[in-house]
Amino acid sequence: MQTRANQKVHIKQSAWRVAATLLVWLTLAIGVQGNVPAADNAYLKALEAEAENSAHVQEKKAAAAAAAAAQAKPKSLQEEFEEQLKVERPNTFNFYEKLSPEDKATVLMTYKESHKLPPAARKVLDLYFK
């Protein structure tokens, strides 16, 4: 049977073995890890160059969109109304297209008063079916 002193020595020796093993593993891990970025350096540089190139493309697209928006004329009330009517109520828009210019002006005045589509759509149908 081991004495208490022998047990303490054995524990210290085991602790030193564990510490030495960990030190070896850490050294290997750091050494391997240090080589990975060197191997991937060219890949990372290529990615960085691609990101820089694509950033210029996005800037050009944004500048072109801003220029187009600056040159675009604002929509008239009639264009706004007709576009909204065509999208939201395509059947009513078909009736609207068949109205006379005077009736279209009446519908547009109805839309101008409220800027709401339902009263103007009702007016289209009233004028078409009169």
Contact 92, 121 (CB under 8 A): yes
CA angle 42, 46, 50 (to 5 degrees): 170
Residue ranges, the chain, pLDDT below 50: none
The dihedrals phi and psi of 101, each to the nearest 5 degrees, come to -60, -35
Residue 106, classified by CB atoms within 10 Å of its CB into exposed (0-12), middle (13-18) or buried (19+), is middle
Contact 123, 95 (CB under 8 A): no
What is the pLDDT at residue 76?
85
Report the percentage of the chain scoring pLDDT > 70.
69
Contact 125, 92 (CB under 8 A): yes
What is the pLDDT at residue 12?
67
Measured on CA atoms in the order 20, 25, 26, 30, is the torsion positive or negative?
A: positive
Question: Under DSSP, is residue 120 helix (H, G, I), strand (E, B) or coil?
Answer: helix
What is the pLDDT at residue 41?
76
Q: Single out the residue of 102, 100, 121, 120 nearest to residue 110, CA to CA.
A: 120
- The domain segmentation of the chain, as residue ranges, is 77-128
Question: Under DSSP, is residue 1 helix (H, G, I), strand (E, B) or coil?
Answer: coil
How do residues 46-62 score in pLDDT, each as one tens digit?
Answer: 767 766 766 666 677 77
